[in-house]
Amino acid sequence: MNRSSKSAQDLDPFRSEGDLNLSPHRRAWAGENISPATQRMLDEDAGYFLHQSLSTPCLNALKSCQGAWIQDVEGRRYLDFHGNNVHQVGFGHPRVIAAIKEQLDELSFCTRRYTCETTVALAKKLTELAPGDLNRVLFAPGGTSAIGMALKLARLATGRYKFVSMWDSFHGASLDAISVGGEAVFRSGIGPLMPGCEHVPPADNRHCPFRCGDACNLACADYIAYVLEKEGDVAAVIGETVRSTPFIPPPDYWKRIRAACDKHGALLILDEIPTALGRTGRIFACEHYGVVPDMLVLGKGLGGGIFPLAALLAREGLNVAADRALGHYTHEKNPVACAAGLATLQVIEEEGLVEHSREMGGYALGRLREMAGRHPLIGDVRGLGLLMGLELLRRRETLECATDEAERVMYGALRRGLNFKVTMGNLLTLTPALTISRSELDQALSILDECIGEVEGTRQA
Ligand SMILES: Cc1ncc(COP(=O)(O)O)c(C=O)c1O
């Protein structure tokens, strides 16, 4: 597809992962809010960095971040309901920073072929927390790399090369990850991708091609079983336990897929890079579904929102590649990243952030549902812990996406001090720090309420 011939408004398939950095609403917001000094900084950034969707040219420049907040260089503060989902413990948590400083003073790097106490301690802690016999760990400097390790291990362990994954899913931006991923903005015009990757419809009862609607009978899960049987030699099914949009599969979805994997000798890889560590009100999202995958991938907030760190957890029986390199990463055992990880897990435990996420999420969901009763623009409210989303629809009957409205709500919220992203064109994706207080949450929800009302007001005018 020749993307350069399309206007920003035409690029709808490319809105899957987030709002566009080229839209007219972005320009209008910048015109009102970005000072000449900040604009010079943004221009300098745009002059050095390769431009790409969803990042450069950038929206704004940050000066600091603390707790649930980010602050721009002009001193404006925003409750950050985006945070790339790294901020389970909030930004700049003092315990995490202290652990990093301490580790820096003692052992700042771990040369290959050596291990160190902190790295082993983090691996041990993760295996203790993980469900079932996910007793083996590999660290990587980012989620995408951890996904790559999972795919390689699945091939080595099964002797098969095929994967089944979901349309609209995201597993990272590398060539292997986009091969199993299902979003046009990453896949389009960049192939050929990895062979043997078959995509199936995701669990999304609003847009499901099986048209189950509210009478969902898990046809999408049964279709995966069908594909596994027909192919006969699939190495693994890989999926996001819960999409961070969010899309929350029905209760029996993963159980049915787990059973199909077992029947057909395929492994199950669950990607919980943005959703593990309390985001959904459980340490791991798969706990909601009562399934244990063969491999579980986490990342993002594992590094305390400071260090890039991801982990592949695998079943004991998958320790089968001793003579191969699964993830020969330079920072495979980085002690500073692991110190951040250990401190993060301690903070999550000691501050009761999983329970807090559940409690605050339940409260927020109630308020969002109440808002949906008053705002015709809100077509659906979804949430699991502090992973929340509002779907904006122009007409509920036709499911017509309110794409333009969603962007206007987003920029309206930015003007009032709330930062979040719009995914798939019309989904307001709301993921605050798990440390957020009830009053901060109320503040954010009131902003949202006001912005949606404002956009509805202009629609009716
Ligand atoms: C579900 C999911 N998988 C994989 C990744 C890739 O992680 P990273 O950006 O750390 O490589 C992301 C990042 O947004 C993600 O949300």
Q: State yes or no: cis peptide before 251, omega within 30 of 0.
A: no
Structure letter (DSSP) for residue 59: S
**pLDDT given for residue 7 in this prediction:** 33
Structure letter (DSSP) for residue 152: H
Distance CA 55, CA 182 (A): 20
8 Å CB contact between 190 and 178: yes
Of all protein residues, the one whose alpha carbon is nearest to atom 6 of ligand 1 is: 172
The tens digit of pLDDT for each residue in 149-198 reads 999 999 999 999 999 999 999 999 999 999 999 998 899 999 999 999 99
Of all protein residues, the one whose alpha carbon is nearest to atom 3 of ligand 1 is: 171
What mean pLDDT, rounded, does the chain reach?
93
Pairing of strands 387-395, 427-430: antiparallel
Q: How many residues does the chain have?
A: 461
8 Å CB contact between 68 and 90: yes
Of all protein residues, the one whose alpha carbon is nearest to atom 7 of ligand 1 is: 143
Distance CA 427, CA 240 (A): 17
**pLDDT given for residue 9 in this prediction:** 37
**pLDDT given for residue 6 in this prediction:** 32
**pLDDT given for residue 14 in this prediction:** 57
Residue 346, number of CB atoms within 10 A of its CB? 15
Pocket test for ligand 1, best of 145, 170, 298 (most atoms within 8 A of CB): 170
Counting from 1 in the atom list of ligand 1, the atom nearest the Cα of 272 is: 1
pTM: 0.95
**pLDDT given for residue 24 in this prediction:** 86
Ligand 1 center–CA 174 separation, angstroms = 10
Ligand 1 center–CA 147 separation, angstroms = 9
Residue 397, number of CB atoms within 10 A of its CB? 7
Ligand 1 center–CA 144 separation, angstroms = 6
Count helices and strands (H / E) in the chain: 13, 16
Ligand 1 center–CA 149 separation, angstroms = 14
**pLDDT given for residue 205 in this prediction:** 63
8 Å CB contact between 85 and 300: yes
Counting from 1 in the atom list of ligand 1, the atom nearest the Cα of 308 is: 10
Q: State CA 222 to chain mean position distance.
A: 25
Of all protein residues, the one whose alpha carbon is nearest to atom 2 of ligand 1 is: 171
**CA dihedral over 168, 169, 171, 177, signed as positive or negative:** negative
Ligand 1 center–CA 456 separation, angstroms = 34
8 Å CB contact between 237 and 163: yes
Counting from 1 in the atom list of ligand 1, the atom nearest the Cα of 142 is: 10
The β-bridge partners of 401 are: 393
How many CA atoms, within 13 angstroms, populate the side-chain half-sphere of residue 120? Answer: 4
Sheet hosting strand 136-140, strand order edge to edge: 136-140, 310-314, 295-298, 267-271, 234-240, 162-166, 197-200
Ligand 1 center–CA 288 separation, angstroms = 21
Q: Token pair 């209760």 is at which residue? A: 251
Rounded average pLDDT over 236-258: 95
Ligand 1 center–CA 300 separation, angstroms = 7
Distance CA 22, CA 56 (A): 10
Give the pocket of ligand 1 (CB within 6 Å).
142-144, 147, 170-172, 240, 244, 271, 273-274, 299-300, 310
Counting from 1 in the atom list of ligand 1, the atom nearest the Cα of 310 is: 10
Counting from 1 in the atom list of ligand 1, the atom nearest the Cα of 144 is: 11
Extract the tokens encoding 154.
């699945």
Q: DSSP of 383-422, one letter per residue?
A: EETTEEEEEEEEETTTTEE-HHHHHHHHHHHHHHTEE-EE
Pocket test for ligand 1, best of 300, 306, 387, 423 (most atoms within 8 A of CB): 300
The tens digit of pLDDT for each residue in 370-407 reads 999 999 999 999 999 999 999 999 988 888 899 999 99
Closest CA to 436 of 63, 97, 77, 81: 81
Of all protein residues, the one whose alpha carbon is nearest to atom 8 of ligand 1 is: 143
**pLDDT given for residue 288 in this prediction:** 98
The tens digit of pLDDT for each residue in 201-223 reads 998 766 677 877 777 889 999 99
The tens digit of pLDDT for each residue in 427-455 reads 999 999 999 999 999 999 999 999 999 99
Distance CA 429, CA 390 (A): 7
**pLDDT given for residue 138 in this prediction:** 98
The tens digit of pLDDT for each residue in 104-146 reads 999 999 999 999 999 999 999 999 999 999 999 999 999 999 9
